[in-house]
Each structure stands twice: as C-alpha cells, then as structure tokens.
Structure 1
Amino acid sequence: MRSLRRVPDVKQREFTEFYRSDQAACLRAVLVSVGDRQLAEDLVAEAFTRAWTSWHKVSRHPAPRAWIVRTALNVRVSRWRRQRREVAWDGTHEVEDVSAGDSGLDPALLTALRRLPRRQREVLACRVFLDLDTAGTATVLGIAPGTVTAHLSRAVASLRAHLVDEEQLEVGP
C-alpha cells in the first residue's frame, strides 16, 4: 500500500511564509516597545497564534506585520490589566537586560529607547522597524497622523540628544 503524504494547503503555506519572513521584524518592533526580550517573544508568539486562527482576515489586512505588532501590544495591555487586578503592585519594576546580540540592536540604542515614553517607542517601532508611513502608523496605533509626527519628532530628538551626549563622553574633549 502506498503511503499518502499530506500536501499543506494554501492557507498553511501562506501563513508559514509570512511567519518566516516577518517574525524577526515583528519581534524587534515589539521589543523596542516593551524593552523585555522574553515578554516580547511571548507577545509575538501570542499574536502569531491569533493571526493563524484568523488568517483569512489577517492575510487581507493592508499591513499584516502591523496587525501582529498591534495585537502583541494589545495582549500586553490585557495581561497588565489582568495582573493589576490579581496582584498588588509593590512599587518595583525590573526590566530584563537584553544584550545587543539577542535583539540585533546596539545596547546604547536599546537603553535610550527604553527611556522613551511608551507611545514614542510604539511610533518608532511602526515607522522604523515595520517601515509604515505616517498614515499607516496612525491607523495601527489608533491616533491622529499629526500625533504620530509629533511623537516621532520628539523621540528622534531625544535619541539624538542621548546618543550624541554618550558619544561625546566616550571620545572625551
């Protein structure tokens, strides 16, 4: 008797190709937003799981990578809200140190990114790591295009000031 091999259907092949080509970019974008590698990996995994279950809708989305990142960030907020109700916060918060080798980002840049407000990190993640335009970023984050521009401008100015100061300290007078 001849053994039959199951041929993956089109949906599975499309999703597998999408995952392989875009998972790293989505992870970097979420990592910039949350600052914790393990959390970012968990959030992206959850977002890709949700994308698989709704692949018929996600595959037609104008920016599927942005859908993944937005979903991951929404999952983070949902988890935070659930934890806030479950456990009283003791006032401490530790952010896991992520080395440059793990994230693909310069450690000084990652440190500077962590100092930015959450919305500025999200705008940078969409604009730089996902290569979305202002309108696309505004749609994904649910804010006005002018707000995207303002956050991006402030974030870039803050990063420039921080990184230039650091370089001058290393080089010296």
Structure 2
Amino acid sequence: MTVEEFEEFYAQTVGRLTGQLYVMLGDQQEAQDVVQEAFVRGWGRRRQLQRDGQPEAWIRTVAWRLAVSRWRVRRRTADAWRRTDVPAYADGPGPESVALVAALRGLPPKQRRTMALHYVCDLTVEQIAAEVGLSASTVKTHLARGRSALAHRLHDPRIEEAPGA
C-alpha cells in the first residue's frame, strides 16, 4: 500500500472505525485514541496490510486490543491503590512549598536538577556528578549558584534583617 493509498484508506475508514469502537467501548474519546494508535501502528505495516487484504479488520482488531490493554492497566492500577493504606485526604502543598517550586522553576534546568538531587533526593556531590555526568566541581558550582539565586528569589521583604547582620 503506497502512502497515497494509506491516506485514502485512512480518510475513508477512520470515521467508521471510530464509530464502531465507540459502540464497543462506550467512550468516544477512548475510541478516537485507540483508533488513532492503531492507524499509527498500521502505517508501519502498510505493505502487510495490503497483502492480508483486510486492513480495516486489522485496524479494528488492533484498536480493540489496545483498549483492552488500557483497561487492564487501569484495573491493575486501581487494584494497587486499593491495596495500599493511603489516607483519604492529603493536605496540599503549603505556601512555602509553592513559593519554593516557583523559585526553582526560575533556575536553569541543570541547576534545578542539581538542587533537587542534592536537597530533595539527599545525594552527595559525588553521587550527583556520577548520575548526571558532570564533574564534582561543576556540581558544586551549580549548587552554589542555585542557592544564591534561590536566596534572592525567596527573599521576603516583610522580614526585617537582624541587627548587625
């Protein structure tokens, strides 16, 4: 099947297949998603689809299997959440956390990652260097610059500086 033939096949069948999957699944968005994914997979098998002679059936079958696979993943995820003792309600982040995350977003990505690895993941300078592929001195530079930038971004003018500071 040539590119043009596949595009024509797509144009002629996508609506019908989406409608069929919608009836099977009962969810329009899910039907659109799995049909599109099936067409993406079919694109790489254009010649095979032509040889088999039933490309629409192949797309429909793949779309159905994708939907079933998604259901299984969702069910396993839901089961896993039910098995854990997660409190019904968790407090959202406080204003300090929101301010910190906003300040971190203002850092360059390498500094932000280095700061997170050091202060959130509790990694040493050497561990960070090994994980991100930087020298220890570069990691130290990122940490120093990140701390300096955060100090300026998180400065609260309402807080008076201590005398003699």
TM-score, normalised to structure 2's length?
A: 0.45
Tell me which of the two structures has the higher relative contact order, counting C-alpha pairs closer than 8 angstroms and 6 or more residues apart: 1
